[in-house]
Amino acid sequence: MAIRSIREFGDPVLNKPCKEVTEVTPRIRELVEDMLETMYEANGVGLAAPQVGVLKRIVVIDVTGEDPMILINPKITESDGEQTGNEGCLSLPGKGGIVTRPNHVKCSAFNIEMEPIEIEGEELLARAICHELDHLDGHLYTELVEGEVYDVKPEADEDDEEV
């Protein structure tokens, strides 16, 4: 496993749509392990493959620090409710913004064994799923910010999650 460089705002790879994964190869397994290690090292709760320069439809999410989710070719199948709150991104370090997202989502995907799975999340998990899946289509949260993107204080409180 290795920590990979996180691509930052302005890198053209972050604005490109990703390709579906058709099989899990040893390289894909290595990518997923590296993504998890990179996300934890950066104190994030989610990371999408394009954020490490790979245009594949893969995201990793762990909002608890103890329950990593690997989502391959994820799609949101249901969403409802609304939440508005602070959002950040590992590709825009030190920045944040107010974003409205669904409060509840269902997502279908494949796990690392390419078995179909469905996950359901509310609040932070719903926000993270939406945020990471946006990355797979070349979109950043800054497109949804209400008002201005702002500088996050170095001692960011728990409400300023970087997803």
Number of H helices, E strands in the chain: 2, 8
Question: Side chain identity at 13, as an amino acid letter?
Answer: V
Cα–Cα distances in Å, from 125 out to 18, 63, 140? 22, 6, 17
Q: Which residue has the tokens 């996300």?
A: 39
Amino acid identity of residue 87, one-letter, is: E
Reported residue count of the chain is 163
- Concerning whether 41 is annotated as a catalytic residue, the answer is no
Write out the H or E segment, with its range, that includes residue 130. helix 123-136
**Catalytic option among 33, 37, 132, 143:** 132
Give the residue numbers annotated as catalytic, written as ranges.
132
